[in-house]
Amino acid sequence: MKNGTSIYVKIIIISAVLFFSSFKTQQEVYPEQIDWDTHFKAQPDEHSAFAAETATTWHYSYNATVRDNHLHIDFKFSAGVVPEKSWVKQERISNRKVSRQLLNHEQGHVYINFLLLKEGEIQIRNQKYTPSNYKRLIQVNANKVSAYYNNLQNRYDNETKHGSDLEAQSRWDDFIRSEMNKYQR
């Protein structure tokens, strides 16, 4: 993608404008804990076979300065749920158990997006850059990590049958929890 990267789950991809900003410190970020009322504001896609869709986004930006052939790059990373693009078909939720199961599956998409945020930050921030290659390498690294996690989102939906295969969902829950633990302090 050109000038930055964003991802929506369920193969909705949007492109972000590359923001230029200078942030010296990064605060600790935690994944959003979603709920139906706050995070699912869009009108459901009546043509979709799915009961819900969680749209997430990932952005990176940087400000680079070169002085005397020394490169300094300040990065900023963000991710989150896009409520205006996320939806749920309330009529498909017959009881609390179904609601919890579906919301858990959708939360998995948010967690995978959080893994993208954390790994994207590591992959992009820790690359060795030079004044002549930093623009290209930042983009290459962002595209690589974005593609990996987009593929992971698709595998998650396919293998869990969008949350309806409870055994597969349980395995994915364990995998995601294990991956998230790698980024806990």
pLDDT in tens, 103-136: 999 999 999 999 999 999 999 999 999 999 999 9
Residue type, 22: S
Give 82-106 pLDDT, tens digit per residue: 999 999 999 999 999 999 999 999 9
Residue 26 tokens read as 């990064």
- Is 130 inside a domain boundary? yes
8-state DSSP, 92: G
For residue 165, give its domain range: 36-181
- Is 100 inside a domain boundary? yes
- Is 17 inside a domain boundary? no
| Phi-psi map region of 85: left, alpha, beta (phi>0 left; psi -120 to 50 alpha) | alpha
H helix intervals, the chain: 36-39, 96-125, 134-160, 166-181
Residue 169 tokens read as 């969902």
Q: What is the number of structural domains in the chain?
A: 1
Taking the C-alpha atoms of residue 185 and residue 179, their distance in angstroms, rounded to an integer, is 13
Give 144-184 pLDDT, tens digit per residue: 999 999 999 999 999 999 999 999 999 999 999 999 999 87
